[in-house]
Structure formats: C-alpha cells, structure tokens
C-alpha cells in the first residue's frame, strides 16, 4: 500500500500532479460500477472483443461492462434524448456509446455529452492530439475532448477472387463493371452508415469541386455537387442486385449475401474485416480487399459518455482501458478483431511497439500502403442530405 | 376476489393502455412537451405523409395483413374440415404445438433461409437447373410481401386451427355432418353450409387478433418483408428510434394511422362477413349438393402438408446453421461443422436465456394467478362472465402494440420509472394474460361442477376446494395455459424493446438484432434456443400431467 | 336429529315456481323419497338443501337440521352429505385418498386416519383397493366408495340423487341395501330423489310426489 502511494506520488511529481490524483479518485469511484456500453451489435468479433474488455476491466479495476447491442447507434441517442426530455439528468441508462459522425454531432449540439474528458485519460498520452490529427476531428466536427477514439476505420471493398478477375478500379468504373455483371453487386441501404459511405465515396470522386464537401451543405451547393453523382447512380442502379429495388439493411447482410454467393462485392469500414471474416468462416478464403485508385474515406471510431450517465467513472475507466497499448494491440490482432489501432506509433514505448510487432499476419490482410491515401469525411450535413435525397429519389 | 382482479386489470391493463394511447395521440397531433413540441396541429401528419414511400408502405401493409389473414382463415378451416376426424383435442394440440411454440422471429429467420435465392430450396434445385450462382430473384423481401404472407400464414394457420377445433366442441358436429351427408351433400359442402356459419361467431375474435397482428408485426416484417419501403410497423419503429427526436411526432401520427388501419380492416372483415352471410344464405337455399367441392379438401390437405414441411425445414435450418462452420452455396449441407456458435456466444447467450426464462416464468406466473383468481372469483360469485369482460381480455391483442407502447414508455419515463426488468415483465403480462385466460377458461368452465359440490358436502371450504380439487384436476389445462404463456412471453419483441429501454436482452431481441448481422450461425443458436424454450414448456405441459396422473385414467387425454 | 323442510318453493328467474310449497320432516334413520317427472325440480331441491343452488333460482321457506338454519350456512358448513348417481369420485386422487378427503378432520394423526380409511374400505368390501385409480373401479365399487366417503365426513343428513339408477339390476338391490343399512345404523335423516318405485319401497319412509305448478297434468 505504502509502496503504491509512493509510486503514485512519484508519478504525480513526474507528470501532471493533479491528473494522477484525479485519476485515482476516478478509479476508486468506478470500482463496483457496471458500465452499460451501447454499441452496434451486428458484428460477432466486435461483440466478443467488448466481452473481453469487460472481463479485463472487471479483473483490473472492478468495473464490469454490459454490452447493450444496438441495431443502430441512433437508438442510444434517442434514449439519452428522451431521458433528458423527461428531466432525468442523473442516473441515465446509457454510460458509454460507440459513436461518430451525425450521431456525435447531434449529441454534441444538444448538450447530451459529458466532457471534455479525453485529456484526463492517462492513456491519452499515446494519442496524436495535435490540431487536425484524425483523432481530433469527427466528420469535420471538432472532437474537443468530448469523445475518445478507440478504433481506426477505412472504407474498403472486398471481392471474391474466385469469381471476379478485376474489380472496378475507380468509382466511375462501377458502372461498366455492373453492366458486365448485372445483379452481382449492391450496397447497404443509404439510411445505414455503410450505404451512405458508399455514396459519399462516389461523391468525393465525382463532385466537380470536392472542397465544398468540407463545409456545411446548402441547397444550391448540394444540387451542384451531387448532379454527377445522381447521373452515375442512375446508370449503375438498374444493374444492381434486385434491379436496385431492394438493398441489404447493412454491411453484415451484404457480407452474408457475398458469402451465400448472391453478390461478388462487399463493403467494410475496416480493412482487416474481410480477413477476420474469412477466419470466422463468414467469407470464402478467396476474398480480398480492394480500394479505388484515389484512396478511400477514413475516420476514427469513438466512445462518448452521455451527460447523465449513471456510471460515469466506470465509463471513463473503460474509455481509458480501450486506449492502453496492450488493448490496442489485442484489438489489432487479426485473430481477435483486426481493427487498426488509433495510437500514434511514435508515442509508444518499447513494450508497446513490441506488442504491435508481434501481431500475426494474414494473406487477406492488406498492408497499410495498399490502401492509398485517406480521404477525409465530408461535413456531416452532407451525409444527412445524401441519405434524404437518395430516399426521395429512389423510394416509391 | 373478482373485485380485486377487476381492480388489478383496471389499473394494470386498461389504465396504462389508455394512458399510452393518450400520450401517443397527443404526440400525433403535435403535443409532446418533453421534446418541446407544444403546438397542436397537423404538422406531424404532413411530415408523416411527406415520408418517401409512405403510401407504398401503407398499401403493402394492408395487402399483406388482409391477404395473410384471409388465406390463413380459409386454409385453417379447410384443414380443420379435412383433418377433423383424425384430430381429437389432445392429438391436435400435440401436432400443432411446435408451430404455436416457435416465436415469430425464429420462424421468420429460418424461413428466410429456406426461401432465399441462395437458400435451401434453391440449393436443392441448383444441380437440376444447372445454376452456378443463386438466381437474382426477390424471393424474400419481395415487393408484394409474398414471403411475409407465407411466414405469417405458417404461424397463424395452426393457431386458427386450434381455435376452430376448440370451438367445434361447442357444436353438435357429428350429428350435423351426418344429417347433411344423409341429405346428399358433399363433405366440403356440409362444412361450408352448416358448420362454418356456426363456427364463425366463435372464432371471430381470434381472427381479429390474427388480423391485428398481421397488420402490425415488426419482427416478421423486418425479416421477411420488403425493405424499401418496409411495412408500416417497421417504418414506425425506425422513426421511433431515429436520432432526431422531432421524428417522434410523425412516428406517433403513424402509430395512430396504424390503429386506424386495423380499425378499417376490422370494418372490412365485418363487411365481408355480412356479404358472405347474405350470399351464403341464397347459396344454401338453392340446395346444390356441392359434391364437386370435396377435392378442395384434398388441396387443403396438400397445402397443409406443404406448410408443415416448410415450417419443419425452417426450424431444421436454424438448428443446422447453429452447428455449421462454412456452408457456402450450393451445398445442401454445411461444408464444415463447429460448436463455436454455441461456445463463442456463451456468456451473452446464457444471459439472454436466463433473462428470457426469468421473464417468461414471471409473466406466466402473474398471468396464471390472475386468470385463476378471475375464474375462481366467477365461480364464487356464481355469476357467468359478462360480454364486456371478454372484450376486455382481448383488448391488448386487438390494438396494434406500437400505438400504445411508445406512449406507455414515455409516460413511464415522465413518472421517473426507469425501464427495466419489472416494466418488461409487466408489459409482457399485458399480452400473456389474454392468451392464458382464453386457454384456461374453457376447460375451467367445463369442469364437472359436481366435483366441487361433492367436496363442499364433505366439508371442504372454498380454498380447500380450489387447491385440492379444482387445481389438481385441472392440472393439464393449467400447464397447457402456462406453456402458451411461456411461448407468448418468449416471442414478445416490441414490448421488450420499448419497455426495457434496450437493457433487457432476451433471446428474441437478440435474435432479431442478430438477424441484421452477418453470422447466421450465431443467429441460429439464439433462434434455436428461442424455439427450444417454449417447446420445452409444451413438452412439460404434456409430460408432467401424464407422469403425475399416470395411474388416473379419467384424467388422460384431458391434456389441452 | 331431524331434517325439516318448511314450505319450500323454488322459483326460476322470470317463471312460475317449480312445485307447490313443500313441507316435510325426516327423522333420524328415516329415508324420505321424492318422486316426480323429469324437470319438476327434484335435483334442484337437493341442490338447495345442500347449498349449491344456481343463482338463477329463488328459494323461499326454511330448512333446518337439528334446529340449525341450513340456508344461512355455506355448503361446506351444512354437514349435509351428497351422493350422486355416478359416484363422482375425485379423478386425481386414489380411492383411499378420496375417502381420506371426506374423513372428518377430528380424526388426527396419519396412522389413525389411515386406519379409519382402511376400516371404511373394509366395510364397503373394498379392502386392498386403497391405492387404486377410481376410474378402474366397477360401478358397484364406485357407488360404495362414494357412500363411504360421504359417511366418513360424519354428515348430519344425507341427500341421495338417483343413487342407484346407473347400476345393473342385480347390483342395485345389493347397493341399495348397503346404503340404507348405513343410514339407519348412523341414525341420520336422508332424502332420496328417484324414479324407481322399488327404491321408495325399500326406503320405507314417507314418499312425496312432486308435480309441476300450473301444469294441468
């Protein structure tokens, strides 16, 4: 005990003295709490990883995690909103949310988030939080410490090399490819994040001036920027699966269609996902990743804490644990989850670097240099408008 | 005692449903102070009808709901007519039990795999037709909702058959059949002209329950229905859970619209009934012997067999998927097997199973206690049941769930009652109680009154009569009612979702969530357990009385 | 120990009374017989005395048993035994348990109660059938078991509702003698409803013929 105090004192003298004491308070307060982590539950490996996180935080900090599996992150946002509407400002039912993009924007704007808190997390030291770094901006919205990163996301396609010789090289190339292979590709419904991302990826490539996408969309700007996109889509749609009249609800269903042999192309927001899916028996061994020539959209997945979270301290402990180098290495391990780490390799200590260096390799796992440049997400208003416009154009 | 039950029902059932409807109705007309909507008006309706595809969604909802109900009714009646001689009460219950037991969601998930272009049927045909790739056909989620209609029928035909067979015991069936046939009428004609008109008033309420369900199902619409746009209930659920709270207003308007749709459908049913009654009387009076109709019974027979096969395949598919590792097209069986779906999903699966079991036992216990209290109260007050009481019992089943669940949840939140296990148990009990009550009341009233009289004359007071005579003699029907209660509870999706504020994960909510994921094997494991629980309850309901009463000849065959 | 019916009438809701006011006194060990056409209300009369009258009927008059006003008491407190034409043994209980159900609670202790039941079984010629399923008994055995069950409750009066009508002719005399002997031995009043003149003759008590009110026949 005395040794621990001495160590804490020494640590506090060396780094930020106030933070260490505060963090100890947080750890003490968190002990015994159960954190209700609201996270999309459609991916078995992610679910298993969240289970693992819960077991570790339970063993190390006495914080247990209950994974509230969502079909859509918006469900959790609604829950917090209705609690706020009902005046329930403490003891809320959501402690931690896997979040980004429009959902983050909505919660931040309506004052539904606790924070800023990221700088208080000891493991935030391993992050690159310099201005403009990927972990500080979420769909062009400044994070400002209101959400903590945990996994890196890149939009990629997967195709079955046993059925497809050459996948489309650019977004524009999807039109002739689909014409040659009618009914063999589709995209998730654009009301779903992945479906919207497919449209955004095409928009970035096809918009006359991609620069406008970084600013909030207005009516005229939206019409001008999306006109080529709709031309492209009108040409593509008739050759989509089901003639473009029906769409899989999300990328998991899409992957299932590819696994069933109904389509040949799938989409992911995680370059390691196809390799992971092969190992999980959910894709044929012959599936491989491809990215359009100009690169693809990338972003960071975050966790945020609602302002009324009943177990805020526990949620902070879990958010911090997610950033520990060994957690991140475990997460990036293709045998576990395979999601890319959000840590800055330059800030890791030797042990951290060794943990990453020891990770296993996989033939279906792309190298980071195969993925091309990372395209920045358009401002969140573009996604909202794209989704609405698509629904108005194609839902009859 | 009856007063107590009435009070419980008024405060636990009518009050909350009315309050829920009230909150929904206010929100539907722009009043929801909690989200800052304080101006009454028709804006929510404008927003609702401004939603892309709403009209299509309405059309597809009305079409699937009405067509599935009518087809289910026709097929159920035809099958009852065709099979009735061979289906005594107990046998019918045993045969139909598995179909009644499978939760809608599990059946839908299984059926989706059987029917899909890359599914079991297509795989079986692939070598014959020389398909190297699954055909690009919308066999599930088709724009007409055929798959949804099929799924609904697989659940509703057995239900309506059981209801019809139970109702037939109140009709002098054998004599009427004999009379009709001795006058030269064909079997099918006797059924149509003599039996069905007598049967109809007895099964009208259950048919309305089926109709209301078919028009408002979320889980089946989600899994088997068209997606762009989906059926109304699915569309509304999405709106209710959308991040933008402003959408709660059009969603509430939609919930009212859903209610109106059900009301219109009831009116339509009534019109059809009147029209058929008129036309039927003329047809009956014309005196045609209709012997040519009998082959129709054969067709019904074949369709019934096809339905049983399809349902059986759906259940089997779930089970096989849960033990599969790779099962690619066009294999009829998995390429490799694994227990990982069961072991890997371990803690979550076990927790969901435990939660489901706990809720099912609690709701069934509450519902049984209430039903016994109600029926015993009737006996003690020596009054027959009032017609309004019957309607009261059916009320939660006739209203679309979504119309009052949202209001109920909002109301609970405003009262500061957190959603959780207790609210889920209570909300499920709203739907479990009617089924338990309906199942138990006929056998209860059919109990030989001389048994309790004999007991009273031997000096046994009311409580001793209840616990040592009535309940033991009625053990089999009580356990059957309990099994139905468990099955209904396990199958509940919306009440658990709304009232559990997402924290209560049951096998059904997990299976529906997983069905929008990629791992059919894990979904298979959840859905298999989801089926297994009610099936086990049914098995127990058959086996326990058989064991306890193995030496009691008079109580055999009394099951169900 | 006598059962007294004083100007009893039974009136269904919205209809004329079933029969003319009935007065009758039945002494200890005496067996009165009520006869009359079907539907005249014989069974309803027994229901009324035993306390099971359906709510649709209105009862006027008085019934006393050893001076106790029966009509004020619930069925289980009247100490009026009831024997039906088909025995009505509890189907879920073994034969012996049926008897034990009837056996008065004043007999205490497992051994004493079991002995009382076995003794009653022996009296009824049912020795060794303690654990049998009632459904497996013959008609005569059932009738005797039902009577013993009623008697073990130590009733102060016994009502018999066509008790022998379902029995074969050769059995009927035997069971009738058995039943009447027990009633006389216990010296309790009994009221029997029957269609069979032979029953009335054997009962050797007062015989009342009920005729329906306002019915010229």
A83-138 pLDDT, tens digit per residue, is 888 888 999 999 999 998 889 988 998 899 998 999 999 999 999 888 878 888 88
How many beta-carbon contacts under 8 Å exist across A and B? 161
Instruction: Say which range, A163-167, B258-262, C102-106, C210-214, has the weakest mean pLDDT.
Output: C210-214
Quick one: pLDDT at residue A118? 94
Neighbours of chain A (3+ CB pairs under 8 A): B
Residue from the list A75, A103, A247 with its beta carbon closest to the beta carbon of B241: A75
Do A244 and A128 have their domain in common? Answer: no
Minimum distance, in Å, between the CA of residue C216 and any CA atom of chain B:
33
Residue B439: both structure tokens together: 């199942």
Residues on chain B touching C159 (C-beta within 8 angstroms): 457
pLDDT in tens, B322-360: 999 999 888 899 999 999 888 876 678 889 999 999 999
User: Any CB–CB contact under 8 A between C97 and chain B?
Assistant: no
Residues on chain C touching B463 (C-beta within 8 angstroms): none
Instruction: Say which range, A262-276, B92-106, B209-223, has the weakest mean pLDDT.
Output: B92-106
Residue B554 lies in a domain: no
Q: Which of A289, A292, A288 is nearest to A170 (CA)?
A: A292
Quick one: pLDDT at residue C213? 67
Average pLDDT over residues C118-147: 92
Average pLDDT over residues B17-32: 90
Quick one: pLDDT at residue C48? 92
H or E segment and range at residue B421: helix B421-446
H or E segment and range at residue B267: helix B248-286
Residue from the list B52, B501, B513 with its beta carbon closest to the beta carbon of A392: B52
Average pLDDT over residues B16-31: 90
Minimum distance, in Å, between the CA of residue B319 and any CA atom of chain C:
39
Average pLDDT over residues B269-281: 89
Residue B367 lies in a domain: no
Q: What is the mean pLDDT of chain B?
A: 87
What is the Rg, in whole angstroms, of the alpha carbon atoms belonging to chain B? Answer: 24
Instruction: Please report, for chain C, the start and end positions of each structural domain, with discontinuous segments joined by +.
Output: 3-92+138-209
Q: Do A42 and B514 touch (CB under 8 A)?
A: yes
Architecture of C3-92+138-209 per CATH?
Answer: 3-Layer(aba) Sandwich (3.40)
Count structural domains, chain B: 1
Residues spanned by the domain of B163: 56-338
Q: Are strands A141-142 and A137-138 parallel, antiparallel or unpaired?
A: antiparallel
Spatial distance between the Cα atoms of C71 and C51, rounded to a whole number of angstroms: 7
Minimum CA–CA partner of A54 in chain B: B347
Quick one: pLDDT at residue C126? 93
Cα–Cα distance list, B188 to A142, A179, A390, B192, B295 (Å): 73, 54, 53, 6, 8
Do A135 and A196 have their domain in common? Answer: no
Residue B61 lies in a domain: yes
Average pLDDT over residues C95-114: 92
Neighbours of chain C (3+ CB pairs under 8 A): B
Residue from the list B328, B348, B522 with its beta carbon closest to the beta carbon of A259: B328
Read off the CATH number of the domain in which B116 is found.
1.10.3720.10
User: Any CB–CB contact under 8 A between C92 and chain B?
Assistant: yes
Say whether pTM exceeds 0.90: no
Do A230 and A329 have their domain in common? Answer: no
More confident: B296 or C79:
C79
Quick one: pLDDT at residue B284? 77
Query: Alpha helices, DSSP H only, in A16-142?
Result: 17-30, 44-61, 74-85, 102-109
pLDDT in tens, C158-168: 999 988 888 88
Residue A6 has pLDDT above 80, yes or no: no
Do residues A310 and A167 make contact, with C-beta atoms less than 8 angstroms apart? no
Q: Do B553 and C136 touch (CB under 8 A)?
A: yes
Q: Do A78 and B242 touch (CB under 8 A)?
A: yes
Average pLDDT over residues C188-214: 88
Residue B452: both structure tokens together: 């309790």
Residues spanned by the domain of A333: 2-149+302-364
Of the pLDDT bands very low, low, confident and very high (cuts 50, 70, 90), residue A14 is very low
Minimum distance, in Å, between the CA of residue B308 and any CA atom of chain A:
26
More confident: A36 or B542:
A36
Spatial distance between the Cα atoms of A37 and A27, rounded to a whole number of angstroms: 18
Average pLDDT over residues B380-385: 74
What percent of chain B shows pLDDT beyond 90? Answer: 43
Residue B488 has pLDDT above 70, yes or no: yes
Q: ipTM value of the model?
A: 0.89
Which of A187-201, B171-185, B500-514 is predicted most confidently?
A187-201
Residue B443 lies in a domain: no
Q: Which of A133, A127, A96 is nearest to A113 (CA)?
A: A96
Q: Do C101 and B551 touch (CB under 8 A)?
A: no
Instruction: Say which range, A162-166, B208-212, B263-267, B416-420, has the weakest mean pLDDT.
Output: B416-420
Of the pLDDT bands very low, low, confident and very high (cuts 50, 70, 90), residue A372 is confident
Minimum distance, in Å, between the CA of residue A344 and any CA atom of chain B:
32
Do A136 and A252 have their domain in common? Answer: no
Residue B83 lies in a domain: yes
Cα–Cα distance list, B473 to A55, A346, B466, C136, C145 (Å): 50, 78, 10, 17, 19
Q: Which of B450, B458, B473, B474 to mutate to test the interface with C (most CBs of C within 10 A)?
A: B458
Residue from the list C52, C54, C150 with its beta carbon closest to the beta carbon of B458: C150
What is the Rg, in whole angstroms, of the alpha carbon atoms belonging to chain C? Answer: 17
Quick one: pLDDT at residue B88? 65
Q: Which of A84, A86, A192, A277 to mutate to test the interface with B (most CBs of B within 10 A)?
A: A86
pLDDT in tens, C11-66: 998 888 888 899 999 999 999 999 988 888 888 999 999 988 888 889 999 999 99
Q: Do B454 and C74 touch (CB under 8 A)?
A: no
Residue B251: both structure tokens together: 């969603």
Quick one: pLDDT at residue A18? 60
Of the pLDDT bands very low, low, confident and very high (cuts 50, 70, 90), residue A9 is very low
Quick one: pLDDT at residue B559? 38
Average pLDDT over residues C123-128: 91
Residue C185 has pLDDT above 50, yes or no: yes
Which of B181-195, B231-245, C112-126 is predicted most confidently?
C112-126
A136's CB contacts (< 8 A; 6+ apart) are A129, A130, A142, A143
Minimum distance, in Å, between the CA of residue B385 and any CA atom of chain C:
13
User: Any CB–CB contact under 8 A between C136 and chain B?
Assistant: yes
Burial of A123 (0-12, 13-18, 19+ CB in 10 A): middle
Q: Which of B416, B502, B520, B525 to mutate to test the interface with A (most CBs of A within 10 A)?
A: B502
Residues on chain B touching C88 (C-beta within 8 angstroms): 448, 450-451, 454
Minimum CA–CA partner of C137 in chain B: B553
Minimum CA–CA partner of B521 in chain A: A282
Do A139 and A258 have their domain in common? Answer: no
Q: Do B457 and C81 touch (CB under 8 A)?
A: yes
Cα–Cα distance list, A166 to A275, A289, A290, C109, C181 (Å): 19, 12, 10, 91, 105
What percent of chain A shows pLDDT beyond 70? Answer: 95
Do residues B33 and B411 make contact, with C-beta atoms less than 8 angstroms apart? no
Of the pLDDT bands very low, low, confident and very high (cuts 50, 70, 90), residue A254 is very high
H or E segment and range at residue A205: helix A193-206
Count structural domains, chain A: 2
Residues on chain B touching A79 (C-beta within 8 angstroms): 501-502
Minimum distance, in Å, between the CA of residue B403 and any CA atom of chain A:
18
Quick one: pLDDT at residue A11? 42
Do residues A275 and A362 make contact, with C-beta atoms less than 8 angstroms apart? yes
Backbone angles phi, psi at B264, to 5 degrees: -60, -40
Residue B500 has pLDDT above 60, yes or no: yes
pLDDT in tens, B109-127: 999 999 999 999 999 999 8
Residue from the list B382, B458, B555 with its beta carbon closest to the beta carbon of C91: B555
Do residues B544 and B391 make contact, with C-beta atoms less than 8 angstroms apart? no
Q: Which of A99, A184, A255, A256 to mutate to test the interface with B (most CBs of B within 10 A)?
A: A256
Minimum distance, in Å, between the CA of residue B465 and any CA atom of chain C:
10
Q: Do A246 and B348 touch (CB under 8 A)?
A: no
Residues on chain B touching C153 (C-beta within 8 angstroms): 457-459
Backbone angles phi, psi at C7, to 5 degrees: 45, 55
Residues on chain B touching C75 (C-beta within 8 angstroms): 453, 456-457
Residue from the list C54, C84, C135 with its beta carbon closest to the beta carbon of B454: C84
Residue B134 lies in a domain: yes
Residue B362 has pLDDT above 90, yes or no: yes
Do residues C189 and C157 make contact, with C-beta atoms less than 8 angstroms apart? yes
Read off the CATH number of the domain in which A250 is found.
3.40.190.10
Do A136 and A164 have their domain in common? Answer: no
Instruction: Say which range, A204-218, B403-417, C199-213, has the weakest mean pLDDT.
Output: B403-417
Q: Which of B516, B521, B523, B526 to mutate to test the interface with A (most CBs of A within 10 A)?
A: B516
Q: Do B413 and A75 touch (CB under 8 A)?
A: no
Query: Alpha helices, DSSP H only, in C70-109?
Result: 95-102
């Amino acid at each position: 005990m005395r040794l621990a105090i001495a160590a804490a004192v020494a640590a506090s003298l060396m780094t930020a003295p106030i933070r260490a004491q505060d963090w100890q308070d947080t750890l003490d307060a968190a002990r015994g709490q159960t954190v209700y982590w609201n996270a999309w539950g459609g991916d078995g490996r992610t679910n298993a990883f969240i289970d693992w996180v819960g077991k570790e935080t339970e063993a190390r900090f006495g914080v247990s995690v209950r994974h509230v599996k969502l079909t859509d992150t918006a469900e959790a946002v609604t829950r917090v909103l209705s609690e706020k509407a009902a005046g329930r400002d403490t003891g809320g039912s959501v402690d931690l949310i896997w979040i980004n993009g429009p959902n983050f924007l909505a919660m931040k704007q309506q004052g539904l988030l606790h924070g800023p808190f990221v700088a208080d997390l000891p493991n935030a030291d391993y992050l690159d939080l310099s201005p403009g770094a990927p972990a500080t901006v979420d769909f062009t919205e400044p994070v400002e410490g209101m959400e903590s990163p945990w996994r890196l996301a890149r939009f990629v396609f997967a195709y079955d090399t046993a059925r497809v010789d050459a996948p489309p090289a650019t977004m524009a190339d999807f039109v002739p490819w689909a014409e040659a292979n009618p009914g063999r590709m589709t995209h998730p419904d654009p009301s779903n994040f992945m479906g919207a991302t497919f449209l955004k990826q095409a928009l970035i490539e096809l918009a006359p001036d991609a620069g406008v996408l970084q600013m909030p969309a207005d009516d005229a700007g939206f019409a001008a920027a999306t006109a080529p996109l709709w031309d492209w889509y009108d040409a593509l749609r008739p050759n989509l699966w089901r003639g473009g009249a029906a769409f899989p609800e999300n990328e998991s269903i899409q992957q299932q269609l590819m696994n069933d042999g109904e389509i040949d192309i799938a989409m992911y927001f995680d370059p390691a996902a196809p390799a992971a899916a092969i190992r999980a028996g959910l894709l044929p061994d012959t599936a491989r990743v491809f990215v359009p020539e100009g690169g693809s959209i990338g972003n960071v997945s975050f966790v945020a804490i609602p302002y009324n979270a009943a177990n805020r301290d526990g949620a902070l402990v879990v958010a911090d644990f997610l950033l520990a180098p060994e957690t991140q290495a475990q997460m990036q391990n293709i045998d576990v989850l395979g999601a890319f780490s959000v840590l800055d390799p330059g800030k890791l200590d030797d042990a951290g670097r060794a943990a990453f260096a020891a990770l296993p390799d996989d033939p279906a796992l792309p190298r980071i240099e195969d993925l091309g440049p990372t395209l920045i997400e358009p401002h969140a208003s573009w996604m909202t408008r794209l989704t609405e416009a698509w629904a108005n154009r194609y839902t009859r | 005692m009856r007063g107590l039950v009435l009070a419980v029902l008024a405060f636990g059932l009518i009050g909350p449903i009315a309050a829920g409807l009230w909150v929904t109705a206010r929100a539907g007309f722009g009043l929801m102070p909690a989200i800052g909507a304080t101006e009454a008006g028709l804006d929510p309706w404008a927003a609702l009808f401004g939603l892309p595809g709403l009209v299509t969604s309405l059309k597809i909802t009305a079409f699937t709901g009405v067509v599935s109900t009518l087809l289910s009714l026709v097929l159920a009646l035809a099958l009852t007519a065709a099979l009735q001689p061979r289906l005594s009460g107990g046998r019918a219950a045993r045969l139909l039990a598995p179909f009644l037991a499978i939760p809608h969601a599990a059946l839908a998930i299984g059926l989706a795999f059987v029917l899909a272009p890359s599914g079991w049927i297509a795989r079986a045909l692939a070598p014959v037709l020389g398909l190297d790739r699954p055909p690009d056909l919308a066999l599930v989620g088709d724009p007409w909702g055929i798959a949804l209609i099929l799924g609904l029928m697989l659940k509703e035909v057995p239900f309506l058959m059981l209801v019809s067979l139970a109702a037939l015991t109140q009709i002098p069936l054998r004599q009427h059949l004999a009379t009709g046939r001795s006058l030269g009428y064909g079997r099918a004609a006797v059924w149509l002209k003599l039996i069905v008109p007598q049967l109809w008033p007895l099964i009208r309420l259950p048919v309305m329950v089926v109709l209301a369900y078919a028009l408002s199902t979320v889980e089946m619409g989600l899994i088997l229905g068209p997606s762009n746009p989906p059926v109304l209930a699915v569309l509304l659920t999405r709106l209710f859970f959308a991040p933008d709270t402003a959408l709660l207003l059009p969603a509430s308007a939609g919930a009212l619209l859903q209610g109106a749709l059900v009301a219109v459908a009831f009116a339509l049913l009534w019109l059809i009934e009147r029209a058929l009654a008129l036309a039927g009387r003329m047809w009956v009076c014309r005196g045609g012997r209709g012997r040519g109709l009998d082959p129709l019974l054969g067709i019904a027979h074949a369709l019934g067999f096809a339905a049983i096969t399809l349902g059986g395949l759906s259940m089997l598919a779930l089970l096989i998927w849960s033990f599969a590792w790779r099962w690619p097209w066009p294999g009829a069986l998995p390429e490799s097997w694994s227990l990982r779906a069961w072991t890997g999903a371990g803690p979550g699966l076990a927790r969901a199973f435990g939660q489901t079991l706990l809720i099912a036992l609690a709701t069934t216990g509450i519902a049984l206690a209430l039903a016994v209290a109600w029926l015993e109260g009737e006996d003690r007050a020596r009054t027959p049941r009032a017609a309004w009481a019957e309607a009261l019992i059916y009320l939660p089943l006739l209203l679309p769930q979504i119309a009052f669940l949202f209001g109920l949840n909002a109301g609970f939140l405003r009262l500061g009652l957190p959603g959780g296990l207790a609210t889920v148990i209570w909300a499920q009990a709203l739907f479990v109680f009617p089924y338990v009550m309906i199942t138990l009341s006929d056998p209860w009233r059919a109990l030989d009154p001389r048994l309790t009289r004999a007991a009273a004359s031997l000096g046994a007071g009311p409580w001793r009569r209840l616990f040592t005579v009535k309940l033991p003699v009625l053990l089999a029907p009580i356990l059957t009612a309990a099994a139905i209660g468990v099955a209904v509870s396990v199958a509940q999706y919306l009440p658990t979702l709304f009232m559990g504020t997402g924290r209560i994960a049951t096998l059904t909510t997990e299976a529906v969530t997983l069905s929008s994921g990629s791992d059919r094997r894990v979904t298979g494991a959840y859905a298999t357990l989801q089926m297994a629980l009610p099936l086990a309850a049914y098995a127990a309901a058959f086996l326990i009385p058989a064991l306890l009463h193995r030496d009691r000849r008079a109580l055999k065959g009394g099951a169900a | 120990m006598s059962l007294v019916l004083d100007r009893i009438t039974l009136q269904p809701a919205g209809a004329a009374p079933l029969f003319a006011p009935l007065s009758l006194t039945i002494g200890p060990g005496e067996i009165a017989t009520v006869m009359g056409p079907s539907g005249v209300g014989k069974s309803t009369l027994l229901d009324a005395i035993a306390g099971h009258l359906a709510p649709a009927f209105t009862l006027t008059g008085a019934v006393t048993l050893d001076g106790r006003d029966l009509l004020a008491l619930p069925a289980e407190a009247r100490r009026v035994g009831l024997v039906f034409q088909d025995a009505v043994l509890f189907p879920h209980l073994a034969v012996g348990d049926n008897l034990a159900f009837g056996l008065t609670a004043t007999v205490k202790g497992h051994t004493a109660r079991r002995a009382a039941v076995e003794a009653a079984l022996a009296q009824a010629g049912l020795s060794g059938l303690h654990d049998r399923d009632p459904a497996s008994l013959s008609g005569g055995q059932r009738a005797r078991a039902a009577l013993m069950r009623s008697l073990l409750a130590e009733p102060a009066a016994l009502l018999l509702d066509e008790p022998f009508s379902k029995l074969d002719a050769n059995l009927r005399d035997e069971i009738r003698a058995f039943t009447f002997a027990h009633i006389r031995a216990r010296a309790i009043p009994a009221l029997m409803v029957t269609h069979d003149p032979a029953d009335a003759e054997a009962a050797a008590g007062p015989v009342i013929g009920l005729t329906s009110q306002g019915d010229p026949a």
